[in-house]
C-alpha cells in the first residue's frame, strides 16, 4: 500500500473514532484523554496536553500524555493573547518561531516540556482552550497536511469539550430545578396541612381529623402498591377532603347531638362544595377535587352527593372514604365515645361491599396487622390511635379473620364473574 494511502486510512480511522468519542455521553475527562490519544496517535506525536480556559484567564489541564501533571500549573492567558491566537495560522503557533505573546512569554516552560506546537481550541469565535503538542516520533517537521489534520482534530476536541460543558450546565440546572420543585412540593404539602388544620379548627370535636385522614389514606395507598406520586396525591386529598365544611355553619358542625334532616342536608353539601373550591386550583396531583367530592359515596349507591355505585367511584375516593370513616369511628364525637376496635372491625366487615371497597379494607387491615406484628418500620396508625387501642389480645385475630374473609369474598366474586 502506498504510504500516503495508508496515512489517509489511518487519519480517517482516527477522525471517525474521535467523532464517536466526542458524541458519547461518557465521563468528560476520559473523553478528553481519549481524544488527546487519538490526536497524538494520528501523527505519532510523543507528548501533548489539552487545557481549557476557566475563570479569569486561568488554564486548567484536562488531559496530558508524556508530560508531567504539573504542566500549566498557575498559567494564565490574557484576552489579548487569546485574540492573537484566534487569528494565527498553525505555522505561527510553532513554539520555536512564534511571536505570539502567550507562546513567547512561556517559551522556556514550553520548550523544556518538549512542546513544539500550541493551538487554540476555537468554538464560535472564542478561544475555549489550548492543545499543546510535542514533536513527531519520526523527527520530521510538521507538514501542511499535518497542520490541517491537527487543526481539524483540535476543532473537534474543542467542540466536544464545549458540548460536554453545556450538557453539564444543563444537568446542573435540571438538578437545581428538581430541588426547587421538591421545595415547592414541600411548601405545597405544608400549606395544605396548615389548611387542613384550619378546616379542623372549625370543628372542636374533630381536631386533627383531616391530618389523620391524610395519613391513613397515604398508608392504604402504599399498601395497595400505588406509586410515590400517587401516594402523595392521596395524602393531599385526605388533608383536603373536608374543605367544603368551610361553607357549613359552625353550629351544624359542632352540634353535640344527631342533627335534623335540614341541618343534615346542609352538612351533606360539603363534598360538592369542596369540589367547587378545589377545582379551580392547579394541583400537582391528579383528581384531588374528585376525591373530595366523592368521599361520601358508597358502593351500594346510597351515598352522596351523586349516589354513584362501585365502579363509578374513583379508587382514591374509596380510600379517603374508608380513612374518613375509620377516623370517625376511632375518635370521640360530641354524642358518643369512640368505638372499640372489635366494633370497628365488625363494621368494616359488614359494610365491605356496601359502603367500602373490600380491596381497600383488606389493604388497610394488612397495614394495621403489620404494625401489630411489629413488621412495620414505623407505627403511624398505632400512634394516631393512641396508646393501648391496638393492644388487645384479640386484635391480631380480628385482623387476620377480616383479611381472610374479605379475600375469600373477593375470590368468590372473581369466580362468579368468570362463570357468568
Partner 1 sequence: MDKPSPGLVRSHCVGTTAVVYASDYLNKLTGEKIERECRRQLDCGCRALVIDFSDTQLVNSIGISILLGIIDVAERNGARVVFSEVNDQTVELFEMLGLTRHVVLAKDEHEALLNLSHYETTPTVH
Q: Which residue lies nearer to partner 1 by CB, 30 or 175?
A: 30
Q: Is residue 156 within the footprint of partner 1 (CB under 8 A)?
A: no
Cell 398508608 locates to: 219
Which residues inside 325-354 make contact with partner 1, applying CB under 8 A? none
Q: Retrieve residue 76's grid coordinates.
A: 494564565
Decide if 159 contacts 166 (C-beta within 8 A). no
Q: Which residue lies nearer to partner 1 by CB, 41 or 334?
A: 41
Pairwise CA distance, residues 12 & 74, whole Å: 36
CB of 162 to partner 1, least distance (A): 22
Residue among 299, 177, 288, 283 at smallest CA distance from 242: 288
Pairwise CA distance, residues 131 & 64, whole Å: 10
Which residues inside 43-72 make contact with partner 1, applying CB under 8 A? 43-47, 65-66
> Which of 23, 54, 137, 167 is the binder for partner 1 (CB under 8 A)?
137
Which residues inside 6-35 make contact with partner 1, applying CB under 8 A? 6-7, 10, 13-14, 17, 34
Q: Which residue lies nearer to partner 1 by CB, 146 or 371?
A: 146
Q: Is residue 136 within the footprint of partner 1 (CB under 8 A)?
A: yes
CB of 154 to partner 1, least distance (A): 15
CB of 223 to partner 1, least distance (A): 46
Q: Which residue lies nearer to partner 1 by CB, 9 or 414?
A: 9
Please, what is the angle between helix 315-329 and helix 209-223, to 10°? 130
Q: Is residue 155 within the footprint of partner 1 (CB under 8 A)?
A: no
CB of 37 to partner 1, least distance (A): 4
Q: What is the 3-state secondary structure (H, E, C) of 44-68?
A: CECCEEEEEECHHHEEEEEEEECCC
Decide if 307 contacts 272 (C-beta within 8 A). no
Pairwise CA distance, residues 289 & 320, whole Å: 12
CB of 42 to partner 1, least distance (A): 5
> Which of 22, 31, 32, 42 is the binder for partner 1 (CB under 8 A)?
42
Q: Which residue lies nearer to partner 1 by CB, 17 or 405?
A: 17
Pairwise CA distance, residues 329 & 343, whole Å: 9
Q: Which residue lies nearer to partner 1 by CB, 4 or 282?
A: 4
CB of 60 to partner 1, least distance (A): 22
CB of 94 to partner 1, least distance (A): 18
Q: Which residue lies nearer to partner 1 by CB, 33 or 338?
A: 33
**Number of residues counted as binding partner 1 (CB under 8 A):** 28
How do beta strands 48-53 and 115-123 pair?
unpaired
CB of 70 to partner 1, least distance (A): 16
Q: What is the DSSP letter of 92?
A: G
> Which of 22, 31, 38, 161 is the binder for partner 1 (CB under 8 A)?
38
Q: Which residue lies nearer to partner 1 by CB, 63 or 127?
A: 63
202, 215, 276 from 208: Cα distances, Å: 11, 11, 23
How do beta strands 115-123 and 59-65 pair?
unpaired
Half-sphere exposure of 151 (CA within 13 A, CB side): 16
Q: Cis peptide before 92, with omega less than 30 degrees from 0?
A: no
Residues in contact with partner 1 by CB under 8 A are 1, 3, 6-7, 10, 13-14, 17, 34, 36-47, 65-66, 136-140
Amino acid at each position: 500500500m502506498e504510504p500516503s494511502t495508508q496515512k489517509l486510512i489511518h487519519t480517517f480511522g482516527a477522525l471517525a473514532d474521535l467523532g464517536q468519542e466526542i458524541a458519547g455521553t461518557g465521563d468528560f475527562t476520559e473523553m478528553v484523554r481519549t481524544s488527546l490519544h487519538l490526536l497524538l496517535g494520528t501523527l505519532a506525536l510523543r507528548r501533548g496536553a489539552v487545557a481549557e480556559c476557566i475563570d479569569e484567564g486561568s488554564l486548567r489541564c484536562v488531559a496530558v500524555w508524556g508530560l508531567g501533571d504539573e504542566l500549566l500549573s498557575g498559567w494564565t492567558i490574557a484576552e489579548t493573547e487569546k485574540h492573537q491566537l484566534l487569528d494565527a495560522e498553525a505555522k505561527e503557533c510553532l513554539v520555536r518561531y512564534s511571536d505570539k505573546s502567550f507562546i513567547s512569554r512561556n517559551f522556556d516552560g514550553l520548550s523544556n516540556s518538549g512542546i513544539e506546537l500550541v493551538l487554540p481550541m476555537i468554538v464560535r469565535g472564542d478561544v475555549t482552550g489550548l492543545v499543546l503538542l510535542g514533536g513527531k516520533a519520526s523527527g520530521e517537521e510538521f507538514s501542511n497536511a499535518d497542520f490541517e489534520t491537527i487543526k481539524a482534530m483540535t476543532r473537534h476536541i474543542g467542540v466536544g469539550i464545549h458540548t460536554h460543558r453545556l450538557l453539564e450546565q444543563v444537568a446542573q440546572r435540571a438538578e437545581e430545578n428538581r430541588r426547587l420543585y421538591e421545595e415547592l412540593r414541600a411548601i405545597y404539602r405544608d400549606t395544605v396541612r396548615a389548611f387542613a388544620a384550619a378546616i379542623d379548627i372549625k370543628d372542636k370535636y374533630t381536631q386533627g381529623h383531616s391530618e389523620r385522614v391524610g395519613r391513613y389514606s397515604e398508608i392504604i395507598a402504599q399498601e395497595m402498591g400505588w406509586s410515590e406520586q400517587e401516594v402523595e396525591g392521596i395524602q393531599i386529598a385526605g388533608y383536603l377532603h373536608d374543605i367544603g365544611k368551610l361553607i357549613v355553619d359552625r353550629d351544624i358542625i359542632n352540634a353535640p347531638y344527631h342533627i335534623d334532616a335540614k341541618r343534615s342536608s346542609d352538612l351533606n353539601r360539603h363534598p360538592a362544595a369542596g369540589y367547587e373550591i378545589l377545582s379551580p386550583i392547579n394541583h400537582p396531583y391528579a383528581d384531588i377535587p374528585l376525591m373530595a367530592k366523592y368521599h361520601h359515596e358508597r358502593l351500594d349507591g346510597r351515598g352522596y352527593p351523586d349516589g354513584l355505585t362501585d365502579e363509578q367511584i374513583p379508587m382514591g375516593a374509596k380510600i379517603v372514604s374508608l380513612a374518613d370513616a375509620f377516623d370517625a369511628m376511632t375518635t370521640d364525637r360530641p354524642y358518643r365515645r369512640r368505638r372499640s376496635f372489635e366494633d370497628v372491625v365488625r363494621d368494616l366487615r359488614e359494610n365491605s361491599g356496601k359502603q367500602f371497597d373490600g380491596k381497600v379494607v383488606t389493604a388497610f387491615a394488612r397495614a394495621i396487622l403489620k404494625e401489630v406484628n411489629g413488621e412495620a418500620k414505623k407505627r403511624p396508625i398505632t400512634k394516631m390511635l393512641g396508646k393501648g387501642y391496638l393492644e388487645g389480645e384479640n386484635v391480631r385475630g380480628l385482623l387476620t379473620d377480616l383479611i381472610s374473609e374479605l379475600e375469600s369474598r373477593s375470590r368468590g366474586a372473581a369466580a362468579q364473574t368468570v362463570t357468568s
